[in-house]
């Protein structure tokens, strides 16, 4: 059931999922895809690391199942990267569906060449050491949202939204409805000046 649900969510724009969540639970927009065309949707595997220590990021790669999203809580630190092309290559090799982090990567050009979706705060030069501090499979805070292991992470060019696992079905149904409603409205309204004006005249303040 869960996999079927995630497969269905993959076709729904993150904006519709955000609407289904009344605009809550989206990560800070500073967390962006390295390439605009990236889309992710999968269950979160979480890890939290302090500045300049990425050993647990590597160890967390043995967790979860193929297609899961590795969520790295770097506490917003930007001056030390949590991963370069090698570590991101590991995430791809073990089968993650993508990486989301409130931190930075390095080797950004070769990471982009991998065509593996990374959503983060951008790039920096300095690497991390392997010390081993931090925790994995715990609730983390990423871009202002609390993410529990197993929550569903969806992201595209517009940003990253987090679906609490106990609301997954209900959010999926509402998001699907919103997507269909948007399609119907666009087809009806965006035909010509007359249909556009007819629509504009019907817009009322929301209650």
Ligand X SMILES: O=C([O-])CC(=O)C(=O)O
- Interface positions with ligand X (CB under 6 A): 54, 83-87, 106-107, 127-128
Q: How far apart are CA 75 and CA 187, in angstroms?
A: 43
Q: Which is nearer to ligand X, 79 or 86 (CB)?
A: 86
Contact 68, 83 (CB under 8 A): no
Q: How far apart are CA 32 and CA 98, in angstroms?
A: 13
CB of 134 to ligand X, least distance (A): 14
Q: Which is nearer to ligand X, 84 or 155 (CB)?
A: 84
Q: How far apart are CA 38 and CA 52, in angstroms?
A: 27
Asked if residue 156 belongs to a known ligand binding site, the reply is no
DSSP bridge pairs for 184 = none
Asked if residue 144 belongs to a known ligand binding site, the reply is no
Q: How far apart are CA 60 and CA 71, in angstroms?
A: 10
CB of 83 to ligand X, least distance (A): 5
Q: Which is nearer to ligand X, 39 or 92 (CB)?
A: 92
Pull the structure tokens for residue 121. 């705060």
Q: How far apart are CA 99 and CA 85, in angstroms?
A: 12
Asked if residue 84 belongs to a known ligand binding site, the reply is yes
Q: How far apart are CA 120 and CA 78, in angstroms?
A: 10
Q: Which is nearer to ligand X, 86 or 199 (CB)?
A: 86
CB of 94 to ligand X, least distance (A): 14
Asked if residue 86 belongs to a known ligand binding site, the reply is yes
Residue closest to ligand X when measured from CB atoms: 84
Pull the structure tokens for residue 141. 């805070």
CB of 199 to ligand X, least distance (A): 51
**Binding site for Mg(2+), residues?**
107
């Amino acid at each position: 059931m869960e996999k079927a649900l995630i497969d269905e969510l993959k076709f729904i724009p993150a904006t519709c999922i955000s609407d289904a969540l009344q605009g809550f639970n989206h990560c800070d927009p500073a967390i962006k895809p390295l390439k605009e065309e990236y889309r992710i949707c999968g269950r979160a595997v979480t890890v939290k690391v302090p500045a300049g220590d990425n050993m647990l990021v590597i160890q967390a790669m043995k967790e979860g199942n193929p297609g899961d999203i590795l969520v790295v809580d770097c506490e917003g630190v930007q001056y030390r990267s949590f991963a370069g092309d090698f570590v991101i290559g590991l995430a791809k090799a073990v089968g993650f569906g993508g990486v989301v982090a409130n931190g930075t990567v390095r080797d950004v050009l070769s990471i982009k060449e991998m065509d593996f979706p990374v959503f983060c705060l951008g790039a920096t030069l300095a690497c991390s050491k392997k010390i081993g501090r931090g925790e994995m499979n715990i609730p983390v805070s990423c871009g202002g949202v609390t993410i529990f292991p197993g929550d569903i992470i969806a992201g595209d060019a517009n940003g990253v939204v987090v679906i609490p696992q106990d609301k997954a079905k209900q959010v999926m149904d509402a998001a699907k409805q919103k997507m269909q409603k948007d399609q119907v409205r666009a087809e009806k309204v965006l035909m010509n000046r007359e249909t556009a004006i007819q629509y504009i005249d019907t817009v009322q303040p929301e209650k």
